[in-house]
């Protein structure tokens, strides 16, 4: 049922009055795209937590991450600022120090903002991937619980960090890379949620209370006097997909667990990429050299492994929901279920989450769930951007932050049935580096999603090597036909210029342009004038 202002606003307003100070839980998975390329009914049969949340939730059909990969996306989520402001443009690596997320004294983040404005208890559990350990790089200890509180604000973290390795890490240090996994032998997601299995000597050990411990502690307190809380639950999977095909056996996964998940290669698997920005083919070739597939069976194994990992993390989410129900916390809690970014999953023959604006990479799940607000499942086609998380949570718990500090828009009017939408578009930016040299041409992206159009500008950091994409995702949901390539492109130049102006306007407003870099003002059909982004 799509959200209708006339049908639900009266009920929601009544429920809103009962939820003046709701608990907030952000359930964040890693590298999970909005369900696509799966058989009809697969989600309902295999991911019961999603069905459970949707039953009493508002599901956004057009929710998009604002950047990728991991660290940049998380920094944006917590700051409502692009990397041009928060300075986390590159995913943190175990090999060499990268710019870390600024402290709360330098840049206000969601946790420090809530602590400043309210008496909410703000807690972070699970994957962090925004800073290094007190002891240096990935040498985590109990001391990092206090560091998290003192530097960033959240209480009660449970280190070590996880989900912070990839193919290049595996080549450098296989043992460390496999210790960061959400599942397999390392089983960090279970450790974060339920704790250690005493008989499992291969599971990663850690410090601090589990998620279920925390919820049990809160649930045991007097409902009338306990503080409301804002709990971030950050789980690793399905991020473990990177170990296929090169390391899943060593990681502790078994073929029989995932080989028959019923998933086929995506319909847009075969794409020469000849009509696409040049960085895409370079990225595909780079990962295929490092982690090659031997045959068709391994290709199919990859997409089934990705689906299987989602069933694993779903089990942990079910355990969390059961605990909330056990302590009668569900009615007073708004659960925000989303992910940091998606996964290409062999669409266009590509993997991971870099150098594209394909739906598989940037279209994310998003459900706001609460039985009082949503007695029946609802859908909305309103655009959502991850820039919107801070202003949305802030308004839900009772205050409006200074808009000059944040670039997002509160989605609360949509959640409460007061408006159909608060934005007509979303912007995506990419500045990370993955398996290719930092100066690879056309490796940065700015993208506008508006109506049924996806318009993207690819460029080099010095303001050269501009390449373009335009897709009509209504007529071409697989994004196989780049309308700005070839002889037919001219008929789309006027539209592309219109979308480019809109993108430029949004980037200036949201501080998403790289300072001092040349940016074209009207790329198509006319001689372009120089335009500095400063």
Q: What is the mean pLDDT of residues 404-424?
A: 95
271 exposure class (CB count in 10 Å sphere: 0-12, 13-18, 19+): buried
**What tokens appear for 82 in the block?**
């692009």
| pLDDT for 482 beyond 60 | yes
CATH number at residue 110: 3.40.720.10
Alpha carbons 25 and 32: distance in angstroms, whole number: 18
Q: How many domains does the chain have?
A: 1
Alpha carbons 202 and 186: distance in angstroms, whole number: 6
- The parent domain of residue 257 ranges over 5-265+315-423
Q: Does the residue 518 lie in any domain?
A: no
| pLDDT for 527 beyond 70 | no
Q: How far is CA 464 from CA 85, 440, 442, 512, in A?
A: 22, 11, 8, 17
**Could you tell me which residue, 528 or 35, shows the higher pLDDT?**
35
Q: Does the residue 380 lie in any domain?
A: yes
Q: Is the pTM of this model over 0.85?
A: yes
Alpha carbons 389 and 384: distance in angstroms, whole number: 9
Q: Does the residue 464 lie in any domain?
A: no
Alpha carbons 173 and 175: distance in angstroms, whole number: 6
Q: Does the residue 301 lie in any domain?
A: no
Highest mean pLDDT among 12-26, 186-200, 505-519: 505-519
231 exposure class (CB count in 10 Å sphere: 0-12, 13-18, 19+): buried
Among residues 82, 27, 172, 154, the alpha carbon closest in space to that of 387 is found at 82
Q: Using one digit for the tens of pLDDT, what is the confidence trace for 447-467?
A: 999 999 999 999 999 999 999
Q: Which pLDDT score is estimated for 354? A: 98
Alpha helices in 331-469 (DSSP H): 359-362, 389-396, 412-415
Q: Which pLDDT score is estimated for 400? A: 87
| pLDDT for 6 beyond 50 | no
* Position 374 confidence tier, pLDDT thresholds 50, 70, 90: very high
| pLDDT for 227 beyond 70 | yes
Q: What is the mean pLDDT of residues 273-280?
A: 99
User: Is the distance from CB of 129 to CB of 74 less than 8 angstroms?
Assistant: yes
Residues with Cβ within 8 Å of 402's Cβ and at least 6 positions away in sequence, in order, are none
Q: Does the residue 226 lie in any domain?
A: yes
Q: Using one digit for the tens of pLDDT, what is the confidence trace for 233-274?
A: 999 999 999 999 999 999 999 999 999 999 999 999 999 999
Least confident of 123-127, 494-498, 526-530: 526-530
- The proportion of the chain whose per-residue pLDDT surpasses 70, expressed as a percent, equals 95
User: Is the distance from CB of 185 to CB of 150 less than 8 angstroms?
Assistant: no
Q: Does the residue 223 lie in any domain?
A: yes
Q: What is the mean pLDDT of residues 46-69?
A: 98
Q: Does the residue 533 lie in any domain?
A: no
Q: Which long-range contacts (C-beta less than 8 Å, at least 24 apart) are formed by 114-119?
A: 114/230, 114/393, 114/394, 114/397, 115/153, 117/394, 117/399, 117/401, 118/228, 118/397, 118/398, 118/399, 119/227, 119/228
Q: Does the residue 279 lie in any domain?
A: no
Q: Using one digit for the tens of pLDDT, what is the confidence trace for 69-124?
A: 999 999 999 999 999 999 999 999 887 677 899 999 999 999 999 999 999 999 99
Alpha carbons 259 and 245: distance in angstroms, whole number: 13
Q: Which pLDDT score is estimated for 5? A: 44
Indicate the length of the chain as a whole number: 534
Alpha carbons 57 and 336: distance in angstroms, whole number: 9
Q: Using one digit for the tens of pLDDT, what is the confidence trace for 155-182?
A: 999 999 999 999 999 999 999 999 999 9
| pLDDT for 143 beyond 80 | yes
Alpha carbons 334 and 525: distance in angstroms, whole number: 49
Strand (E) or helix (H) holding 527: none
**Could you tell me which residue, 50 or 404, shows the higher pLDDT?**
50
* Position 145 confidence tier, pLDDT thresholds 50, 70, 90: very high
């Amino acid at each position: 049922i799509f959200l209708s202002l006339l049908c639900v606003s009266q009920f929601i307003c009544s429920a809103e009055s009962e939820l003046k100070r709701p608990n907030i839980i952000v359930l964040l998975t890693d590298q999970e795209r909005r369900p696509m390329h799966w058989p009809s009914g697969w989600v309902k049969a295999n991911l019961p937590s999603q069905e459970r949340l949707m039953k009493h939730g508002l599901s956004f059909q057009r929710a998009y991450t604002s950047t990728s990969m991991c660290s940049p996306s998380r920094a944006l989520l917590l700051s409502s600022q692009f990397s041009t402001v928060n300075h986390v443009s590159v995913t943190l690596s175990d090999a060499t120090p990268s710019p870390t997320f600024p402290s709360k004294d330098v840049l206000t983040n969601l946790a420090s903002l809530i602590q400043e404005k309210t008496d909410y208890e703000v807690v972070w559990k699970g994957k962090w991937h925004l800073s290094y350990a007190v002891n240096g790089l990935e040498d985590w200890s109990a001391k990092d619980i206090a560091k998290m509180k003192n530097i960033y604000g959240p209480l009660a973290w449970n280190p070590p960090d996880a989900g912070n390795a990839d193919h290049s890490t595996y080549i450098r240090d296989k043992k460390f890379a496999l210790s960061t996994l959400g599942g397999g032998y390392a089983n960090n997601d279970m450790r974060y949620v339920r704790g250690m299995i005493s008989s499992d000597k291969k599971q990663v050990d850690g410090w601090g209370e589990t998620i279920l411990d925390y919820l049990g502690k809160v649930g045991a307190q007097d409902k009338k006097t306990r503080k409301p809380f804002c709990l971030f639950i950050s789980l690793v999977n399905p991020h473990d997909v990177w170990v296929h095909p090169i390391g899943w056996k060593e990681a502790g996964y078994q073929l029989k667990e995932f080989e028959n998940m019923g998933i086929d290669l995506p319909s847009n698997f075969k794409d020469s990429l000849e009509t696409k920005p040049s960085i895409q083919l370079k990225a595909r070739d780079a990962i295929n050299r490092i982690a090659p597939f031997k045959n068709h069976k391994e290709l199919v194994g990859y997409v089934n492994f990705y689906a299987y990992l989602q069933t694993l993390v779903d089990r942990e989410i079910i355990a969390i929901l059961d605990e909330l129900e056990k302590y009668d916390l569900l009615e007073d809690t708004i659960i925000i279920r989303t992910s940091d970014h998606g996964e290409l999953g062999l669409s266009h023959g590509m993997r991971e989450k870099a150098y594209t604006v394909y739906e598989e990479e940037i279209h994310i799940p998003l459900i706001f769930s609460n039985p009082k607000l949503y007695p029946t499942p609802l859908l909305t086609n309103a655009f959502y951007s991850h820039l919107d998380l801070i202003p949305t949570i802030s308004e839900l718990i009772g205050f409006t932050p200074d808009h000059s500090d944040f670039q997002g828009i509160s989605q609360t009017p949509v959640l409460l049935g007061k408006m159909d939408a608060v934005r007509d578009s979303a912007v995506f930016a990419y500045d990370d580096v993955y398996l290719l040299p930092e100066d690879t041409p056309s490796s940065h992206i700015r993208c506008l999603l508006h109506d049924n159009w996806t318009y993207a500008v690819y460029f080099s950091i010095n303001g050269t090597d501009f390449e373009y994409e335009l897709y009509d995702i209504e007529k071409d949901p697989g994004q196989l036909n780049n309308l700005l390539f070839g002889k037919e492109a001219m008929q789309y130049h006027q539209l592309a210029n219109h979308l480019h102006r809109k993108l430029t306007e949004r980037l200036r407003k949201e501080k998403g342009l790289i300072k001092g870099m040349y940016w074209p003002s009207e790329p198509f059909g006319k001689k372009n004038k120089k335009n500095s982004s400063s």
